[in-house]
Amino acid sequence: MKIAVIGTGYVGLVTGTCLADYGNDVYCVDVAEEKIDQLKNGIIPIYEPGLKGMVQSNYEAERLKFTTDIQTALLHSDICFIAVGTPMGEDGSADLQYVLAAADSIGQYMCRHMYVIDKSTVPVGTAKKVRDTIQKRLDERGSDLTFDVISNPEFLKEGTAVSDCSRPDRIVIGTDNDRAAKVMRNLYLPLVRNNETFIFMDIASAEMTKYTANAMLATKISFMNEISNICEAVGADVNKVRMGIGSDHRIGYHFIYAGCGYGGSCFPKDVEALIRTSSDYGYEARILKAVEAVNQDQKLVIPKKIVSRFGEDLTGKTFGVWGLAFKPDTDDMREAASITIIRELTGRGARVKAYDPKAAVQAQECYLKGNENVEYCASKYTTLVDADAMILVTEWKEFKVPDFEEIKKRLRTPVIFDGRNQYDAGQMAEYGFEYYQIGVGEQTEG
């Protein structure tokens, strides 16, 4: 099939590349000339395992092309994905300016019947806005060309996006006619193993599905963090509670790990957007507001533990931070807990020595830019030299089984604050560490 993908960010680049890998001819379009030039030269703007090699091989095979010229892309395409960003607006709603700008360009340059697919995460009602925008531009052209607008939300997880796209566990398609449904089935058939993967529905339900999925996962995380705080208060261990409830198949173990809060490009933005959408329709999303509030507070749990241990004034103290990205296997730091933790510490006079396998450049050039109390190190153990404590923030694989003797040798005082509950408390005691977890209260008889 001949496909155009507008937007070469996380979703657009992964989607376009995976579709090209299955033999389709794909044009990836972006207004940023520098990004397009980098992609042509094999420079990938994001870190995602397996993506770079796939981009290079498909580009060399001329199945994948990069351009700033949307007219040329549409001239050679029957299907056009809109995969641009929908950042959070000042009022919490999804900002649709880039989606509607893409729709306007489609209406301006399409030259045959076009299947327009909303891949961006957008609120209910966006498909109608896209349809109206395209039709307005066609009317201005005096054109009688026809088109279909289809909702096809993405369910990519950062760190496993290539496999999620190539072997999806479900493909949600929102459409109002059988012809468009058939085109979408044919597009995705090479990626699926059985028809159960396809879930067809109306457009509004498809738009709602993506927000609901992310809101549900965020709710599980905040719920477990709420439980972790209660566990600390009553003297229970949230790690044991998790095992106790996860064994119930109705609950399961996914997304019930206590930690220092969720971040990333999806959960914070989508929860807030769903709250705003609910408000626009006259409904107060009380649970989602609580999910968001708990998450913001959870990012302060580690700083509060540090203040409790070392005092409010941290001048002269140094902390080694392991992990900056909001999760492992990505360089994405959007809404990451590390930002809050580091700002809280340096705001009290502390120095921070940080290491992350992939996200250090993002921190230095964007999220912690200008913070002179942060030093970026080339290895995890370097962060600990003469540090007063180690702080684990992101559960990268290389942090799971470190050399604890080496950690103890390098630290000024043997103190570990574990924001992801990665280590065994008994083992930490054997090594002689002061070990602080999330959601583990002082044990009492009762």
The residues annotated with a catalytic role in the active site are 266
Take residue 424 and report the two structure tokens written for it.
């065994």
Give the position of tokens 């705001």: 347
Whether 118 and 150 have beta carbons less than 8 Å apart is answered as yes
Sequence-separated (6 or more) residues with CB below 8 Å from residue 427: 404
Nearest to 259, CA basis, from 234, 227, 236: 227
Helix (H/G/I), strand (E/B), else coil: 391 = strand
Q: How far apart are CA 437 and CA 439, in angstroms?
A: 6
Q: Please provide the DSSP assignment of 84-151 as one string.
A: ---PBPTTSSB--HHHHHHHHHHHHH--S-EEEEE-S---TTHHHHHHHHHHHHHHHHT----EEEEE
Sequence-separated (6 or more) residues with CB below 8 Å from residue 413: 388, 389, 434
Q: How far apart are CA 140 and CA 154, in angstroms?
A: 32
Whether 259 and 439 have beta carbons less than 8 Å apart is answered as no
Going from the C-alpha of 318 to that of each of 90, 292, 321, 424, the distances in angstroms are: 36, 31, 10, 24
Sequence-separated (6 or more) residues with CB below 8 Å from residue 372: none
> What is the 3-class SS of 63-82, one letter each residue?
CEEEECCHHHHHHCCCEEEE
Whether 332 and 325 have beta carbons less than 8 Å apart is answered as yes
Q: How far apart are CA 329 and CA 371, in angstroms?
A: 25
Q: How far apart are CA 32 and CA 6, in angstroms?
A: 11
Helix (H/G/I), strand (E/B), else coil: 152 = coil
Q: How far apart are CA 324 and CA 364, in angstroms?
A: 11
Q: Are strands 147-151 and 114-118 parallel, antiparallel or unpaired?
A: parallel
